[in-house]
Structure 1
C-alpha cells in the first residue's frame, strides 16, 4: 500500500495543528503569549496551583518541554512557583495577576481562531470533527 499524505490522519492532524498554532501565534502577538503558554494557562485557569508533573501529564508533553515553557512563563511574569506545603519536593504553579488579566483576551483570540478554521464547515460537521478528534485522542492516550 502506498503512503498518501492527503489520506494520512497523522500527517493531516500534524499539519492542521501547525496551522492552528501559527494562527494563534499571530492572534496572541499583542498579548505576548505563545500557543504553548496558552495551553498551560488553560489548565491553570481551571485549576490554579497544579504541579509541573500534573501539567506535563494533562498536556501530554515531555517533562523538559514543560520545564522550558514554565521557565519562559515565569520570566514573562505569567506564573510563580510556590512551595507545596504537603510535599516539599514539588512546587505549585500559580497564576500571576498578569495571567489573570490576559484571560478574556486570550480566550477570545482562541475562539476567533477556531471559528476562522471551522468556517468552511456547517455546525454539524464542526461538531462531528471535534467529536472524532476527541475519540482519536482518547484512543491514543490509552496506548
Structure 2
C-alpha cells in the first residue's frame, strides 16, 4: 500500500472523532448557561434517578480514567452538583449522588442536548437516524470487547 494514497477520511475512526469533537464543542456552548459542562453529563446521567455510586464505579461506567473522574467530581462538588456520603460497607470509600440543584438542572440540560442532536441529524430520515444509532452501538460493543481482549494480552 502506497502511503501517499492514504485517505484518512475513508475510515470511520477520524470521522467519528471529528463528530464527537463537534458534539462536545456544541454541547459545551449549550450547557454553559446552565453551569454545566459536557464532562459532567455521564455522571449526571448515571445518578439522575437518585442512585449513589462510588468514584471507581463512575469511572468504570463512563470509561474515564480515575484521575479525570476525580477532577470532574471535585469540580461538581465545588459547584454544588454532587454530594458525598460514606459508603456503608467501606468507610474508606464514599458514594456520590446528585444534589437537588443538579436534579433541577437536568430537564433543561437534556432539552439543550436533545435539540443539538436533532439539529445534527437534520436531513436524516427516521430510519437513517435509527440505523446510525444501531451501528454506533454495535461499533462501541466491538471496541469494548477489543479493549478487554487487548488488556488480557
The TM-score by the shorter chain falls in which range?
A: over 0.9
- Does the CA contact (< 8 Å) of 2:55 and 2:69 recur in 1? yes
Pairwise CA distance, 1:5: 2.1
- Does the CA contact (< 8 Å) of 2:27 and 2:38 recur in 1? yes
Residue 89 of structure 1 aligns to a residue whose secondary structure is strand
Look up the match of 2:63.
Answer: 60
Could you list the per-position Cα deviations for residues 19-69 of structure 1 after superposition, in whole angstroms to 9, with x for gaps in the alignment? 001111111121011001112101111452111111111111111111111
- Does the CA contact (< 8 Å) of 2:50 and 2:97 recur in 1? no
Q: Could you list the runs of 5+ residues in structure 2 that have no partner in the other structure?
A: 147-153
4+ aligned runs moved over 6 Å, structure 1: none
Look up the match of 2:14.
Answer: 11
User: Which of 42, 53, 68 lines up with 2:45 in the alignment?
Assistant: 42
Residue 91 of structure 2 aligns to a residue whose secondary structure is coil
The CA RMSD measured in Å over matched residues stands at 1.2
User: Which of 127, 130, 135 lines up with 2:130 in the alignment?
Assistant: 127
For this pair of structures, how many residues does the alignment match? 143
Q: Could you list the runs of 5+ residues in structure 1 that have no partner in the other structure?
A: none
Residue 116 of structure 2 aligns to a residue whose secondary structure is helix
Q: How does 1:1-143 map to 2 (within 5 A)?
A: 1=1, 2-46=5-49, 48-143=51-146
Q: TM-score, normalised by structure 1?
A: 0.95
Residue 74 of structure 2 aligns to a residue whose secondary structure is helix
- Does the CA contact (< 8 Å) of 2:39 and 2:72 recur in 1? yes
